Amino acid sequence: MKPRIEEITAKKLIGMRIKTSLAENKTAHLWQKFMSRKDEINSQKNSGYFSVQIFPEDLSFKDFDDKVIFEKWAAVEVKDVDKIPEDMETHTLSAGKYAVFVHHGPVSAFGETLNYIFGIWLPNSDYLLDNREHFEIMGEKYFGPTHPDSEEEVWIPIKDKLPE
């Protein structure tokens, strides 16, 4: 699984957010609530659904476990943030360099993709993990969380390693 490397500009999002951990995992509830109201967002770009994770700034991924609290967003990219539906918020996704992987299969196999990214690819790459948002984009090839043929893009924030 070889990623493509992309440099992106900041993106405006509108959506809903929660604080959660992998142990609590309130993600399904967040997405159900968001999807029932997504049509209230008028200025959507046709760029898929964004699942965004914002981790604590001082978190070392060596210390990451299922009890770490982080912010989780269910959102869409928008052209402007002039009209924000009630109970929704805006977030500007940071510009920068990302390694983009494609996860194939159901969400139950997502851990295998993450284990490869953080356990094999990243330590052996020319990059370090950057302290920005991690996100997934669920586009036209995303058929739902349990579908065996689903695809979603996994965007990992990276920065170049300094020469030794």
CATH of the domain at 11: 3.20.80.10
- pLDDT band per the 50, 70, 90 thresholds, residue 22: confident
pLDDT tens for 44-78 read 998 899 999 999 887 776 767 788 889 999 999 99
Looking at the 3D structure of the chain, how many domains does it have?
1
What is the distance between the alpha carbons of residues 149 and 105, in angstroms, rounded to a whole number?
5
Query: Rounded to a whole number, what is the distance in angstroms from the first to the last CA of the chain?
Result: 27
Sign of the torsion angle spanned by Cα atoms 61, 126, 158, 4: negative
- pLDDT band per the 50, 70, 90 thresholds, residue 90: very high
Asked if 63 and 24 touch (Cβ cutoff 8 Å), the reply is no
What range does the domain containing 109 cover? 4-160
What is the distance between the alpha carbons of residues 143 and 146, in angstroms, rounded to a whole number?
8
Residue 164 has pLDDT above 70, yes or no: no
**% residues pLDDT > 90 (the chain):** 76
> Average of pLDDT values for 150-154?
96
The pLDDT assigned to 68 comes to 83
Asked if 135 and 52 touch (Cβ cutoff 8 Å), the reply is yes
Asked if 98 and 154 touch (Cβ cutoff 8 Å), the reply is no
